[in-house]
Amino acid sequence: MGGVGKTTLMKEIRKQVEETMLFDKVVFATVSQNSDLRGIQTQIAESLGMKIEEQNIAARTAKLSARLKQEKNILLMLDDLWTRLELSDVGIDLDKGQLQSDNHLKEIRCM
């Protein structure tokens, strides 16, 4: 649904959540119709204050996955999703038992 204020609302939520410090990290990524996995990974990495130098997609995914495991409490905000995105393809492994039991990730996905 175009231009009704979804992105604006997401950014306002991000601002307020960051102020409350409910989460250790708020990760915001704009997925968009034609943005590739590398672009999504770069945005997530930047939100976490890290740089991914690797070009190889498997290496990038592994690096991001390892980094995310260090965070205890993450809010992941994905804006402008057009199709299904497999989080594990990006490096976010929720169902492989790779996250620590006290590691919590909440997601907000927005079309």
Q: Which of residues 68-87 bind ligand ATP (CB under 6 A)?
A: 80
Residue 90 burial (CB count, 10 A): 24
Which residues touch 91 (CB under 8 Å, ≥6 apart)? 41, 44, 60, 61, 62, 63, 64, 65, 68
Rule CB under 6 A: say whether 109 interacts with ligand ATP.
Answer: no
Q: Which of residues 3-32 bind Mg ion (CB under 5 A)?
A: 6-7
Task: Tell me which residue has its CB nearest to Mg ion.
Answer: 7
Comparison of 2 and 49: residue with beta carbon closer to ligand ATP: 2
Which does residue 93 touch among Mg ion, ligand ATP, none (CB within 5 to 8 A, set by kind)?
Answer: none
Cα distance from N-terminal residue to C-terminal residue, the chain: 7
* Residue 7 Cβ vs ligand ATP, minimum distance, rounded to whole Å: 3
Count, residues near ligand ATP per rule CB under 6 A? 8
CB of 76 closer than 8 Å to CB of 27: yes
Q: Can you tell me the distance from the alpha carbon of 61 to that of 38, in angstroms, rounded to the nearest whole number? A: 9
Rule CB under 6 A: say whether 34 interacts with ligand ATP.
Answer: no
What are the residues binding ligand ATP (CB under 6 A)? 2-8, 80
